[in-house]
Structure 1
Amino acid sequence: MIRSQLRRQPLYTQIKTLLSQRIGEGAWQPNEMLPSEWELAEELGVSQGTVRKALTEMVTEGMLYRQQGKGTFVADVMGDWAGPGMVPAGLFRSRLELPAAELLGCSRVNAPDELAEALGLKRGAALVRVRQLWRLQAEALAVDDAYLPAERIEGLDAKLVRQSGGSVYNALHRHYAVRPVLVQEQLRAVPLPREEGVLLGVGEGVPVLSITRLTASLQGEPVEWRQRYCLTRTMAYVPDHGRVA
């Protein structure tokens, strides 16, 4: 049955919301096949066409994927790199490479104004900060600080992240039934701060690519604010649509 608080939405949107909630709660795991459109329609008391429209939109958004002749499957949880690969600067037909993450640690901090506003928290609210170093062919390439609301992810620490393959997003999915989705990513050219310069083995003030990201749960609740500093002296950051022909 459709929950009463959803009834003001178009019917297919209601179905999409309910299926998203179930995926977020772990009803179906990544790469697991959903019931057929007919089975979902019968269970939810709607037409097969309504279910198909909801699933099609979820496929377009990357939450699901289809295999011809088989069915509709839950897409993998977004990786912590969560975006394009890297290529040698100026080489347009090189294969994309994805950096590997090294967990540096977890700590507790208080939310400054910018983070509190983005995450829908009060100023000074407790945050968990997860720091990761990204390497490409053993060379330090980028450093991340991921900030998450401590009250919403109680118990998240370095041990739990390591148990989840070193991935913050896998930890959210496996231990908190939160499937993170990208809300927005902002890119700027900035001078590298001193502390991050030490971690990356370069000097303070070196021009780098700053990538700020906000992610949310499938229900739209902000769950992470992430700051990445990425070296681009020899490697180029390729948008998601870029690919080798």
Structure 2
Amino acid sequence: MSRQPIYAILADELVRDIRTGLYPLGSLLPTEIEMAEDRGLSRSTVRAALGRLVQLGLVTRQKGVGTRVTSIEPGSYNPSTTSIEELAHFGAATHRTLLGIEEVTLDMTLAKRLGVPAGSRWFRVRTLRSDIKTAALPICFTENYIDIELPGVIHDIGDYSELIATRIASRYGSVVDEVRQVIRPRILDEELCSLLRTAPNELALEIRRQYCSAGRLIYVSLSQHPADRFEYHMSLHR
């Protein structure tokens, strides 16, 4: 039996259908409901598969119009996130390499970057992520800061690929209901250039995400994405 998630298998099939011309450039894919009924799948599974195609730069999605084919070859990594549920699929679509775990007390500079009080204590988990299907190079380097009161999350963190926020919910029942995100440019230092295998002084996008549950900040991630491997797409609808 395949170890791939069902949505990833469906995404692979759709990529093949686009490449072979079943869905030509500019055409619309079947709707979520049509795909779900035809294949006996849930709409959430179909939605995740279509989200994967958006990440690969093969389609765009527009409310009231549908999912349109815009390319027949995958491009750079293009996450398109419109909900916390779609963000959770990122973990299943990528592979995480654990680099280290430590307990830290934040100084003023780091606390400001994370948007948390100086002197607070966190578990810091350093990771690299790469695309399961296509990426020979890492997508991003991430420092994950986990509430010191949630030690059970880090014990087997090297054995699962799902988002840390998802594991917090399953272990402690603290379901993330708000994610605050800030994106800003940054020049990678020598260590990160080596880890991410980039040229010296490479430009990157730094993404800070603060994960909250019932108004409480439980987890902060700080990710560095090399600029030539990452595009961030967002659609706003009225």
Q: Quick one: distance in 2 between partners of 1:187 and 1:200?
A: 19
Amino acid at match of 1:148: I
Please identify which structure carries the higher helix content: 2
Q: Is 1:174–2:144 an aligned residue pair?
A: no
Of 50, 55, 68 in structure 2, the residue corresponding to residue 85 of structure 1 is 55
Of 180, 185, 190 in structure 2, the residue corresponding to residue 184 of structure 1 is 180
Q: Is 1:210–2:206 an aligned residue pair?
A: yes
Q: Between Structure 1 and Structure 2, whose CA radius of gyration is higher? A: 1
Q: Once the 2 structures are TM-superposed, how far is the Cα of residue 99 of structure 1 from its aligned partner?
A: 3.8
Give the superposed CA RMSD. Answer: 3.8
Q: Is 1:112–2:112 an aligned residue pair?
A: no
Give 3-state SS (helix, strand or coil) of 2:118's partner: coil
CA 1:114–1:87: 2 relative to 1, 3 Å: farther
Residue 238 of structure 1 corresponds to 232
Amino acid at match of 1:226: S
Residue 222 of structure 2 corresponds to 227
* TM-score (normalizing by structure 2): 0.54
Q: Is residue 119–residue 149 contact of structure 1 (8 Å, CA) maintained in 2?
A: no
Instruction: Judge which range, 222-231 or 133-142, deviates more.
Output: 133-142
Residue 103 of structure 1 corresponds to 98
Greater RCO, 1 or 2 (C-alpha within 8 Å, sep 6+): 1
Structure 1, unaligned runs of 5 or more? 1-66, 68-72, 77-82
CA 1:189–1:148: 2 relative to 1, 3 Å: same
Q: Quick one: distance in 1 between partners of 2:130 and 2:173?
A: 29
Q: Quick one: distance in 2 between partners of 1:210 and 1:92?
A: 27
* TM-score (normalizing by structure 1): 0.53
Q: Once the 2 structures are TM-superposed, how far is the Cα of residue 172 of structure 1 from its aligned partner?
A: 0.5
Q: Quick one: distance in 2 between partners of 1:213 and 1:222?
A: 11
Amino acid at match of 2:143: D
Give 3-state SS (helix, strand or coil) of 1:239's partner: coil
Number of equivalences: 160
Q: Quick one: distance in 1 between partners of 2:163 and 2:100?
A: 12
Residue 145 of structure 2 corresponds to 147
Q: Quick one: distance in 2 between partners of 1:130 and 1:204?
A: 24
